[in-house]
Amino acid sequence: MFNIEQVRKGKTSTDARIRITIEYVLSLFFENNTDAVVVVMDSSDGKHMARKRLFDKWYFQSGKFSIEKYEASCKTDEIEIAATLFVEKNNPFKNIILSDYYELVKLNFYS
């Protein structure tokens, strides 16, 4: 598990270097793993859907469609969780991963 957080507080930026950095981190992950990665958008400030839209935009800009994207959201009494699953298209365990991902969503990501 790792977090990507804004270091400087204040107005957020759509700086292209942020997108490039996140693409690089994810590409390193998929070079060394055949699993999948789940990105959960922080909802503590109510900006999770804006983050989701930005990730969607970056995904299409990357053109790396060998990695598929699956989205889901759920709501607890306290927060809304927006999550995206990234998995390689030819992952031999993709169906199992998808099944487990949607099961986690049903459980609101809690066991």
Q: What pLDDT, on the 0 to 100 scale, is given for residue 3?
A: 63
Residue type, 37: V
**Residues in the chain where the model's pLDDT stays below 50:** none
55/101 Cα distance (integer angstroms): 18
How many separate domains does the chain show?
A: 1
CA of residue 12 relative to chain centroid, distance: 19
Q: What pLDDT, on the 0 to 100 scale, is given for residue 4?
A: 65
pLDDT digits (tens, 9 = 90+) for 61-79: 888 778 899 999 888 777 8
Q: What pLDDT, on the 0 to 100 scale, is given for residue 13?
A: 60
Structure tokens at 53: 């839209």
Residue type, 31: E
Q: What pLDDT, on the 0 to 100 scale, is given for residue 32?
A: 81
Residue 111 lies in a domain: no
Residue 26 lies in a domain: yes
Q: What pLDDT, on the 0 to 100 scale, is given for residue 103?
A: 92
88/91 Cα distance (integer angstroms): 5
- Tell me which residue range forms the domain holding 75: 17-106
Residue 1 lies in a domain: no
Residue 91 lies in a domain: yes
CA geometry: angle at 21 spanning 100 and 19, to 5°?
Answer: 80
